[in-house]
Structure 1
Amino acid sequence: MAINIRNAVLQNVIGDSREDLEDTIVDAVQSGEELMLPGLGVLFEVIWQNASEANKKEMLQRLAGGLTR
């Protein structure tokens, strides 16, 4: 049986409040569990799809800055 991770994640958070979404993200990041990474990827996809070009540039700058060693 194939599981559509994207749909499962979206169905799990649709209707959540901002606080609920923040709790989900913080929990996933703090837990460090590899199993949470696909869910964070789906949430990032939603952010990216709904971001303006200026927001995308800012996200990329923050990402690049966070990856500097």
Structure 2
Amino acid sequence: MDLLRLLGLGLVAVLVLLGIDYYQQDKKHEGSLSFDGYIATVEKRFNLFQREEVTEEDERGQDEHSREG
């Protein structure tokens, strides 16, 4: 039973976080954000995060290469 309560709490926490994120994104789009638009913002932010991560890895690789030489 404790596992069921823990899963329920986790589900509620995720839903609250998604609601807050949707609210913030809706404010940025002046109250005209549809569900599809929200999904697009999530994809855009995830892709931006991935690009930043790759750029940081490239910079670290260049730093290591310049130290070796």
Fold shared by both chains (TM-score > 0.5)? no
Q: Which has the higher helix share?
A: 2
Which structure is larger by alpha-carbon Rg, 1 or 2? Answer: 2
TM-score normalised per structure 1: 0.32
TM-score normalised per structure 2: 0.32
Which gives a bigger RCO, structure 1 or 2 (Cα 8 Å, sep 6+)? 1
